[in-house]
Amino acid sequence: MSETKKDESGEARVGVYICHCGGNISDHVDVEKVAEAVKGIPGVVVSHTEMFMCSDPGQELIQKDIESGSINRVVVASCAPSLHETTFRGAISRADMNPYLYEHANIREQDSWVHHGDPATAKAITLVAAAISKSRGLEPLEPIRVDAANHTTVIGGGVAGLRAAVDLAKSGLKVALIEKTPFLGGNASQLDKVFPTGEKAADLIAYLTSAVIKDPNISVYTCAEITGFEGYIGNFNITVSSKAPQGDMLHQVQAATAGKFQPFGGFLPKGIPETDTEETLTTGVIVFATGFKLYEPRTGEFGYGDNKEVVTLRQFIRIMDEAVPGTGTMKIDGRPIRRIAMIHCVGSRQIPGIHEADADDYMNEYCSRTCCTATLQAALEIRDKYPKTQVLDYYRDIRTYGHNQEDYYTQASEKNVLFFRYEPEDSPVITKTVGEFPLKVSVIDKLTFNEEVEAGVDLVVLATGMEAKSITNLVEMMKLPVGSDKFLQEVHPKLRPVEMANGGILLAGTCQAPMDINESCNAAQAAAAKAAAKAAAMLGKGYVELDPFVAKVDPEKCKGSGECITECPEKAISMTADNIAEVNPALCTGCGMCVAVCSVNGIDIQGWGLKAYEDMVDAIVKF
Amino acid residing at 202: A
The model's pLDDT over 385-423, given as tens digits with 9 standing for 90+, comes to: 999 999 999 999 999 988 788 899 999 999 999 999 999
Contact 421, 398 (CB under 8 A): no
Residue 68: Cβ within 10 Å count = 11
Phi, psi of 304 (to 5 degrees): -70, 135
Residue 261: Cβ within 10 Å count = 20
What is the SS3 assignment for 163?
helix
Q: Does 466 score more than 90 pLDDT?
A: yes
Would you state the pLDDT for residue 539? 53
Confidence label for 1 from pLDDT (cuts 50, 70 and 90): very low
Residue 253: Cβ within 10 Å count = 22
What is the mean predicted confidence (pLDDT) over 464-485? 95
Contacts of 188 (CB under 8 A, 6+ apart): 158, 159, 194, 201, 204, 205, 517
Contacts of 26 (CB under 8 A, 6+ apart): 20
For the chain, what is the mean pLDDT?
Answer: 92
The model's pLDDT over 101-138, given as tens digits with 9 standing for 90+, comes to: 999 999 999 999 999 889 999 999 999 999 999 999 99
Would you state the pLDDT for residue 557? 95
Share above pLDDT 90 across residues of the chain, in percent, rounded to a whole number: 75
The shares of helix, strand and coil residues in the chain, as percent rounded to the nearest 5, are 35, 25, 40
What is the C-alpha to C-alpha distance for residues 279 and 176, in angstroms, rounded to an integer?
12
Q: What single-letter DSSP state applies at residue 304?
A: B
E strands, 465-511, are 466-468, 505-507
Query: Would you say the C-alpha torsion 554, 557, 562, 568 has a positive or negative sign?
Result: negative
What is the mean predicted confidence (pLDDT) over 471-482? 95
Q: Does 542 score more than 80 pLDDT?
A: no
Confidence label for 3 from pLDDT (cuts 50, 70 and 90): very low
Contact 573, 564 (CB under 8 A): yes
Phi, psi of 219 (to 5 degrees): -105, 125
What is the mean predicted confidence (pLDDT) over 235-247? 93
Contact 73, 14 (CB under 8 A): yes
The model's pLDDT over 45-72, given as tens digits with 9 standing for 90+, comes to: 999 999 999 999 999 999 999 999 999 9
Contact 50, 61 (CB under 8 A): yes
Would you state the pLDDT for residue 25? 97
Contacts of 260 (CB under 8 A, 6+ apart): 267, 268
Contact 589, 605 (CB under 8 A): no
Confidence label for 4 from pLDDT (cuts 50, 70 and 90): very low
Confidence label for 229 from pLDDT (cuts 50, 70 and 90): very high
DSSP collapsed to 3 states, 68-118: CCCCCEEEEEECCHHHHHHHHHHHHHHCCCCCCCEEEEECHHHHHCCCCCH
Q: What single-letter DSSP state applies at residue 584?
A: -
* Residue that wins the pLDDT comparison between 148 and 313: 313
Closest-CA residue to 63 (of 39, 33, 87, 37):
87
**C-alpha radius of gyration, the chain, whole number:** 30
**C-alpha 512: how far from chain center:** 4
Phi, psi of 56 (to 5 degrees): -60, -45
Contacts of 396 (CB under 8 A, 6+ apart): 344, 345, 349, 421, 422, 423, 424
What is the C-alpha to C-alpha distance for residues 614 and 196, in angstroms, rounded to an integer?
58
Contact 399, 369 (CB under 8 A): yes
Would you state the pLDDT for residue 502? 87
Would you state the pLDDT for residue 6? 44
What is the C-alpha to C-alpha distance for residues 249 and 109, in angstroms, rounded to an integer?
51
Amino acid residing at 492: H
User: Whole-structure pTM over 0.85, yes or no?
Assistant: no
Amino acid residing at 160: A
Domains of the chain plus CATH, in order, are 3-142 (3.40.50), 151-291+469-541 (3.50.50.60), 294-465 (3.50.50.60), 551-605 (3.30.70.20)
Q: Does 261 score more than 90 pLDDT?
A: no
Confidence label for 435 from pLDDT (cuts 50, 70 and 90): confident
Listed in sequence order, the DSSP H helices in 542-588 are: 563-567
What is the C-alpha to C-alpha distance for residues 464 and 530, in angstroms, rounded to an integer?
32
Q: Which range, 108-112, 146-150, 264-268, 405-409, is most confident?
A: 108-112
Would you state the pLDDT for residue 536? 67
What is the C-alpha to C-alpha distance for residues 267 and 213, in angstroms, rounded to an integer?
11
What is the mean predicted confidence (pLDDT) over 494-511? 90
What is the C-alpha to C-alpha distance for residues 12 and 74, in angstroms, rounded to an integer?
10
Contact 221, 240 (CB under 8 A): yes
Contact 229, 478 (CB under 8 A): yes
Q: How many helical (H) and strand (E) elements, i.e. helices and strands, does the chain have? A: 16, 32
What is the C-alpha to C-alpha distance for residues 514 and 19, in angstroms, rounded to an integer?
36
What is the C-alpha to C-alpha distance for residues 113 and 116, in angstroms, rounded to an integer?
8
Closest-CA residue to 528 (of 290, 286, 238, 220):
286
Confidence label for 533 from pLDDT (cuts 50, 70 and 90): confident
How are beta strands 543-546 and 144-147 bridged, if at all? antiparallel
What is the SS3 assignment for 575?
strand
Would you state the pLDDT for residue 252? 80
What is the C-alpha to C-alpha distance for residues 551 and 609, in angstroms, rounded to an integer?
9
What is the C-alpha to C-alpha distance for residues 461 and 584, in angstroms, rounded to an integer?
56
Would you state the pLDDT for residue 617? 95
Contact 425, 374 (CB under 8 A): no
What is the C-alpha to C-alpha distance for residues 178 and 222, in angstroms, rounded to an integer?
6
Would you state the pLDDT for residue 546? 85
What is the C-alpha to C-alpha distance for residues 605 and 603, in angstroms, rounded to an integer?
7
For 183: left if phi > 0, alpha if psi spans -120 to 50, otherwise beta; the answer is beta
